[in-house]
Chain A
Amino acid sequence: EPEVTQTPSHQVTQMGQEVILRCVPISNHLYFYWYRQILGQKVEFLVSFYNNEISEKSEIFDDQFSVERPDGSNFTLKIRSTKLEDSAMYFCANFGTAPGEQYFGPGTRLTVT
């Protein structure tokens, strides 16, 4: 079964620092997504990325966030200046073979201190 991988599994950073979360998506998939889940809360959509550009972003995805496919395979989420409230699990997902069938990675736990 296809698999999405994410690194690191856990990132601890100080407030104000930049972090880059990495995802290796399933090859040949065209849609990429980032979601986050604050501890104890529901999964929230952040951004979708298609054809090398953002196709939709949520209100959470402000100027502090950016996404890239730097080498055509990896998919990254950058937070420029982290805040305490950015502490969450961040999930990368790929669009599968049917509308909305998304494969999720295991997530990166981001802890901002």
Chain B
Amino acid sequence: DAKTTQPNSMESNEEEPVHLPCNHSTISGTDYIHWYRQLPSQGPEYVIHGLTSNVNNRMASLAIAEDRKSSTLILHRATLRDAAVYYCILIGGSNYKLTFGKGTLLTVNP
């Protein structure tokens, strides 16, 4: 599986935008870029995914670099409920299993 690199932790203030980076320089042409998050004491939760184009949904936006070697998850207005570990995961092949790294621990200050 192609590897991703994320900062161990980031901090934000409530109601401010948050940009969570992810590097994936060995991404292959068929790999999808997925983001999941895990709130304290809960199971992972799907956030967003994309292949080549930027994507928006009700939770977040995903900005994908033109060469696809990096991406950024954007939370437009962080809330306290967004405090979680965020995982950037590449998925290819037909099995779609998720390989979790350590992710980025996002702290949101009131």
In the bound complex, do residue B44 and residue A43 qualify as a contact, i.e. CB atoms below 8 Å apart?
yes
Interface check B38, CB cutoff 8 A: yes
Per-residue 0/1 for B9-49: is the Cβ within 8 Å of any A Cβ (1 yes, 0 no)?
00000000000000000000000101000100011111001
B residues apposed to A, CB below 8 Å: 32, 34, 38, 42-46, 49, 89, 91, 95-103
**30 A-B interface contacts by CB (under 8 A):** A33-B97, A33-B98, A35-B98, A42-B102, A43-B44, A43-B100, A44-B100, A45-B97, A45-B100, A48-B95, A48-B96, A55-B95, A56-B97, A89-B43, A95-B96, A99-B32, A99-B49, A99-B91, A99-B96, A100-B32, A100-B49, A100-B96, A101-B46, A102-B44, A102-B46, A102-B96, A102-B98, A103-B46, A104-B45, A107-B42
Main DSSP-derived SS at the B contact region = loop
- A14 vs chain B, min Cβ distance (A): 25
Q: A102-B96, A106-B42 are in contact. List 15 more A-B contacts (CB 8 A).
A: A33-B98, A35-B44, A35-B98, A42-B103, A45-B99, A50-B95, A56-B97, A96-B46, A98-B49, A99-B49, A100-B89, A101-B46, A104-B45, A105-B43, A106-B43
Determine the distance from Cα of A34 to Cα of B42 in the docked complex, in whole angstroms.
15
In the bound complex, do residue B95 and residue A104 qualify as a contact, i.e. CB atoms below 8 Å apart?
no
